Amino acid sequence: MMDHSITTYKNASAELIAGRVEGKRNTIQDRFTIWAPEYGERVRDEVSEEGSTILDGLIALGEDETELDTIAESLLGQVEQADKELDALITVAVRTPDTEEYRLPGEVPVLNEVMAAKKSDRMDSTGVSDASGEATGFVTGEETTVTGGSSGLFGMNSKKQREHVPGLVSDGSSVWRSRPVSYPVAAAIISAESLFDSFSRGLPESGRLYLLPYLAARSEDVSEQTFEWFYDRVYKRIQTADGGADGSFDDVIESIFVEIADASSEDEQADLPFEKSPSAWDQVRFAAVLQVSGNPDRVYFETLDAVSPALRLENSHNDTVRYGTAFTPGGVFDGSPPSESSPLLGRGGLNLTQYILYGGYFARTTEPTRSSREASERPTAGDIDDNRTRRVRRLLSESQIDTHRLLEEYIHQLVQDQRKLFGEDNGYAAFPKRSVVEQYSQIHALGALGVLDDSTTIRFDTIPMANDSDSDTALDDFVEAESGGETGEVPENSPEPDADEAADETVPEEPVSGKSSEQESETRESRLETFISDHSALDGDEQEAIFVLGGLVGRISAYQNYENVSSTLIRRYPVDYLTKQTIKEVTKEVLQMNNSYAEADKSRSYQTNTRYTTRLTETMLAADPEEWHMTQTEIQWLYSLGITYGLSDYSNYTEQDDEQGDETNSDTTDN
């Protein structure tokens, strides 16, 4: 096969490269005997007089056997043995009579013209006799000679019977009718693959994500200054970034995404004269393509604007963990689990756009099946990438995300996390509280963004919010946890959580608030009441009943963990134990155990946990659980949320203060 350019690469023996092996191509002599005369005549009428003279000189050399022998001997004279293997880049330098210096092919216009003619012919004649015609160019919109021979169209359908592919012309000579592009555009398409590699990042299981920056404006509307800014500030930084696990590609992409986000804020500080207006950043877009090896269609998703939807989700998620009252000072999840333990938690502002596009945002909180981590058969490339990125595809295409399926995969993850924790004895309560809080923040961020399809499920479209300055509330009676120095950065290697850490931190002995136990109980009662009333997902007796049941299981398990009771309620009634058929059994056992501890422990009373027990008896009696309308998935996730709430429902007073009311610092747990 002949290269398009007069420059070619060859790995072969010196004598073959010199043209001394009969029947072999891509040699030094071919540059003159084949390359120049074969296509030189096609461009002769279109090139300058100098170009025509250069072509004549190349062709004359190819016809002069003596000169060809001289060229061959010159090469062989530089090696010790004729059969020595060489890595050779073969090219031709040109010096015309009126110049003193030689010029390489890129500096000689006629050589580029011949190369373009040769490449155009390859587009038309690869596997067919002629693949061109007169039509409107798909990209340019101009009437011209077009070709359909650019790579990809047949390749993507090579395993299918082409005559059955809708819209695909199966006759190769008429392929231009399917995708008519002008020759320059076709050449750009062919050359793009190697260029695009610099703008791509490998994902697990042979996936490759392409992030292609461009300016969303017509060429005539882009000033030279703006284009130079884009080239230096965006394009070149990505193109020159090092790929691979230890490369700088991820850091550069993250940095640019942060700059795009910052540029959209009101307090943007520009450092260049033409950046005083955010218009340049406003025009920056990233086309995204996920190509999956092993997938028959090759491309799993593609979009012309990947950053905007991901950035909207980032903002929604940050609003949830920054202003949601469950996370603000005094909120039940404030500092529990600590923000530094997760890339999805923290009030400092999280940079999540890259994490979302890479698939880690959803992969961290979900599992495809309840046994996917222990599956004996490794999932195929298409399957695993589907699990990591299918919701990314729906987000980028502005399609709805199935809430039921999302909750189902939440439960799959929690079940596997909890099973692993059951086999460990590390001082933590055997419950993946951190995973639940991550899921809680994620699903409410998605709900607030309006991308959840909750037509057949409970709703997650509301979550109580507070401004950072809203500290004069009843919840301010609680002690604010320290942030732990959150930076807003996503840890490098954290696409999925480690179940060993899912049980979170060991909670230190709680500080004294200086209030009576009655005041503490009132505040905690108010917090629980507010949490339930402000969440649409808990709007109903069924939802409230299962949530407070989980809350009571969490409270009692916290007490048991403090008392070193090995068989905690969390172990007896794990996430996947709860069904419509077992709810009554679990409720009965949990209420009885709460009363038993009240009788056995002098520091407790029958008033202990009344904020849970009163609600539980009232709501559970409203209807037979076996007649509830909730699905098992919804029941189990709300139960998990309740357990997490109960484990996090700390008291802020000492044992000496607790002779009459709620739990003492027995609430101090590993969760």
What is the DSSP code string of 94-163? B--TT-SS-B-GGG-HHHHHHHHHHHHHHHHHSSSS--EEEEE-TTT--EEEEE--STTTTGGGTTS-GG
Is 437 within a domain? Answer: no
Same domain for 364 and 235, yes or no, is yes
Cis omega (within 30 of 0) on the bond before 508?
Answer: no
Other CB atoms within a 10 A radius of the CB of residue 607 amount to 15
The dihedral built from the CA positions of residue 641, 642, 644 and 649, taken in this order, carries a sign that is: positive
The residue ranking higher by pLDDT, 143 or 10, is 143
| Alpha-carbon gap, residue 340 to 296, rounded angstroms | 41
Element holding 203 (H helix, E strand): strand 200-203
Same domain for 396 and 272, yes or no, is yes
| Alpha-carbon gap, residue 274 to 477, rounded angstroms | 50
SS3 sequence, 403-468? HHHHHHHHHHHHHHHHHHHHCCCCCCCCCCHHHHHHHHHHHHHHHHHCCEECCCCCCCCCCCECCC
Kindly tell me the number of DSSP H helices and DSSP E strands found in the chain: 23, 11
Burial class (CB in 10 A: 0-12, 13-18, 19+), 356: buried
Same domain for 138 and 111, yes or no, is no
User: Are the C-beta atoms of 154 and 108 separated by less than 8 Å?
Assistant: no
First-residue to last-residue Cα distance in the chain: 67
Is 406 within a domain? Answer: yes
Is 443 within a domain? Answer: no
Average pLDDT, the chain: 78
- What is the per-residue pLDDT for 520? 59
Apex 86 CA angle, 83 and 87, nearest 5: 160
Which residues sit opposite 465 in a β-bridge? 324
Same domain for 276 and 404, yes or no, is yes
Same domain for 164 and 226, yes or no, is no
The dihedral built from the CA positions of residue 121, 123, 124 and 127, taken in this order, carries a sign that is: positive
- What is the per-residue pLDDT for 403? 96
| Residue tagged 């030279």 (tokens) | 224
Alpha carbon 74 to chain centroid, angstroms: 55
| Alpha-carbon gap, residue 290 to 394, rounded angstroms | 13
Same domain for 132 and 120, yes or no, is no
Burial class (CB in 10 A: 0-12, 13-18, 19+), 286: buried
Using the 3D structure, point to which of 177, 197, 217 is the last residue of a domain: 197
- What is the per-residue pLDDT for 562? 84
State the average pLDDT over residues 127-148.
76
Helix runs in 534-631, H state only: 541-562, 569-572, 583-600, 610-620
Is 479 within a domain? Answer: no
pLDDT band of residue 472 (cuts 50, 70, 90) is very low
- What is the per-residue pLDDT for 494? 45
Apex 460 CA angle, 257 and 307, nearest 5: 15
pLDDT tens string 257-284: 999 988 876 444 444 444 444 458 989 9
Same domain for 145 and 254, yes or no, is no
Residue 650 has pLDDT above 90, yes or no: no
Most confident of 27-41, 214-228, 277-291: 214-228
Helix runs in 164-223, H state only: 183-196
State the average pLDDT over residues 489-508.
46
| Alpha-carbon gap, residue 601 to 631, rounded angstroms | 38
- What is the per-residue pLDDT for 172? 52
The residue ranking higher by pLDDT, 297 or 369, is 369
- What is the per-residue pLDDT for 404? 96
Q: Tokens standing for 505?
A: 């931190």
Closest to 458 measured CA to CA, from 535, 393, 394: 535
pLDDT tens string 547-596: 999 999 999 999 898 888 888 899 999 999 999 999 999 999 999 999 99
- What is the per-residue pLDDT for 519? 54
| Alpha-carbon gap, residue 117 to 536, rounded angstroms | 66
Using the 3D structure, point to which of 107, 125, 143 is the last residue of a domain: 125
Apex 657 CA angle, 655 and 662, nearest 5: 75
Other CB atoms within a 10 A radius of the CB of residue 29 amount to 19
C-alpha distances out from residue 371 to 413, 414, 419, 479, 492, Å? 9, 11, 10, 40, 26
Q: Tokens standing for 176?
A: 């231009």
- What is the per-residue pLDDT for 503? 56
Apex 109 CA angle, 105 and 113, nearest 5: 95
Q: What percent of the chain has pLDDT over 90?
A: 36
Same domain for 306 and 283, yes or no, is yes
Same domain for 213 and 163, yes or no, is no
Task: Give the strand pairing for 401-402 and 452-453.
Answer: parallel
The helix-helix angle for 36-43 and 49-62 (nearest 10°) equals 160
pLDDT band of residue 429 (cuts 50, 70, 90) is confident
Same domain for 96 and 135, yes or no, is no
Alpha carbon 270 to chain centroid, angstroms: 29
C-alpha distances out from residue 321 to 269, 335, 434, 523, Å? 26, 11, 13, 22
Using the 3D structure, point to which of 163, 197, 231 is the last residue of a domain: 197
Is 368 within a domain? Answer: yes
- What is the per-residue pLDDT for 468? 43
Q: Which domain holds residue 155?
A: 128-197
Residue 441 has pLDDT above 90, yes or no: yes
| Alpha-carbon gap, residue 230 to 227, rounded angstroms | 5
Is 494 within a domain? Answer: no
Same domain for 83 and 68, yes or no, is yes
Candidate from 304-308, 505-509, 525-529 with smallest mean pLDDT? 505-509
Same domain for 150 and 245, yes or no, is no
Is 237 within a domain? Answer: yes
pLDDT tens string 283-292: 999 999 988 7
The residue ranking higher by pLDDT, 632 or 132, is 632
Is 497 within a domain? Answer: no
Closest to 557 measured CA to CA, from 548, 549, 567: 567
C-alpha distances out from residue 111 to 190, 267, 532, Å? 19, 53, 75
Q: What percent of the chain has pLDDT over 70?
A: 73
Tally of structural domains, the chain: 4
Residues in Cβ contact with 237 at an 8 Å cutoff, skipping those fewer than 6 apart: 252, 255, 256
User: Are the C-beta atoms of 153 and 195 separated by less than 8 Å?
Assistant: no
